[in-house]
Amino acid sequence: MDILKNLPDSGAISLIAEFTARPGEGDVVAELLAGLALKVRAEAGNVAFDCYRRLEDADKFVVYEIYRDKSAFEIHIGADYGAVFNARLRELIVEPNSVLTFLTPLAKG
């Protein structure tokens, strides 16, 4: 998978997913996301799955995700319920897909 090729082989995988609900679909997206969150948080390798609506625009969503390692993230993206969620989400958002931003921690010191 292209999404995996640039990820480090060790250490936690952290990312932000962002998307914008189509007009009138914000509450539907929020409900869909809440259902996904319950499933993702139950994944053994999930560390955090925190969902937000932007204060200045409730149709804009941000999801902060952390997975134990690359293997845990691979399991996450391979989950059947994730594919079902993404297919439904595509019908409800402005973007063609969630916009993913992978993060790397600053050196601790």
CA distance 11 to 87: 29
CATH assignment, 15-103:
3.30.70.100
Q: Can you tell me the distance from the alpha carbon of 27 to that of 20, in angstroms, rounded to the nearest whole number?
A: 12
pLDDT of residue 1: 58
Helices (H), the chain: 26-41, 70-77, 80-92
Label residue 8 by pLDDT band (50, 70, 90).
confident
Structure tokens at 85: 């969620």
Question: What would you report as the CA-atom Rg of the chain, rounded to the nearest whole angstrom?
Answer: 14
Mean pLDDT of 49-67: 98
Domains of the chain, by residue range, sit at: 15-103
Report whether 62 contacts 16 (CB < 8 A).
yes
